[in-house]
Amino acid sequence: MSQGRAGFAYREGGGFLHRADARAKLAALVVVSVALTWASAGATAAIGVIAYVVARSAGITARELLHDIRLVLLILVVGAGARALSDPEGIVAGAFAGTVASGRFVVIIALAYVVSATTRPADVRLAVESFLSPIPFMHEKDWGTMFAVAARFFPLVSDEARRVREARKARLGDEQGWYTRVRSTAFGSLTRSFRRADTLALAMESRGYDSARTSLRKLEWESTDTALLAVTVGVSVLVYAL
């Protein structure tokens, strides 16, 4: 009864990104995301190509990526369309601006997908704790756990949506109109996700969850992590400058 791979879930691997320190990956993601906010169309496309190469090196195919983020893509396409229709400079300029803005989001989401697929939630927790520990009055252990649970929960939501879709299809749900299909899938997924979140919390509690916990894993910063961050910062500066 294999449940199959869920989108955004961590996948075992031994490549460069899998070995990289979670702090380096998260910091790089933040730096690139900020740089993309100002990126031109050309720079966004260039980062998109780099993101694709990085994804491939982590064993993620374009097909898997597009499949797992298709709902976000749909929302972005609608957003770009709305921008095209409402832009005071005309439909062509609006479509262009909307496509570039959506493209930036797609690239950021793709990179987040890669980080999520190559970083264990336990390492995400340690990285967040490490980032927040210098800040006074910040309960870094609780924040770390929150991020780790979110990283764990995202694939669960996607898994629930898949189950609801399959259950619907099995009873000729594809014969229904698109509105009914979307509504039933969204409602079913949401309900099941809440239930799953509740069970996840119970499972953590039943094993004595304590924010003052130790960790099996330890983050170790290597020279390659410094290199990864340096290259990311360099590329981001270029993106900003272009």
Binding site for another protein (CB under 8 A): 1-6, 9-12, 120-122, 151-152, 155, 159, 196, 199-200, 202-210, 212-218
In angstroms, give the least distance from the CB of 152 to another protein.
6
Both tokens assigned to 197: 């979140």
Q: Are 73 and 66 in contact (CB under 8 A)?
A: yes
CB closer to another protein out of 168 and 196:
196
In angstroms, give the least distance from the CB of 17 to another protein.
15
Q: Amino acid identity of 215?
A: S
CB closer to another protein out of 89 and 205:
205
Tell me which residue has tokens 């031994």.
14
Whole-angstrom distance, CA of residue 9 vs CA of residue 150: 11
CB closer to another protein out of 68 and 159:
159
Whole-angstrom distance, CA of residue 34 vs CA of residue 118: 21
Q: Amino acid identity of 190?
A: L
Beta strands in the chain (DSSP E): none
In angstroms, give the least distance from the CB of 220 to another protein.
13
In angstroms, give the least distance from the CB of 165 to another protein.
17
Element (H, E) at 164: helix 140-170
CB closer to another protein out of 1 and 170:
1
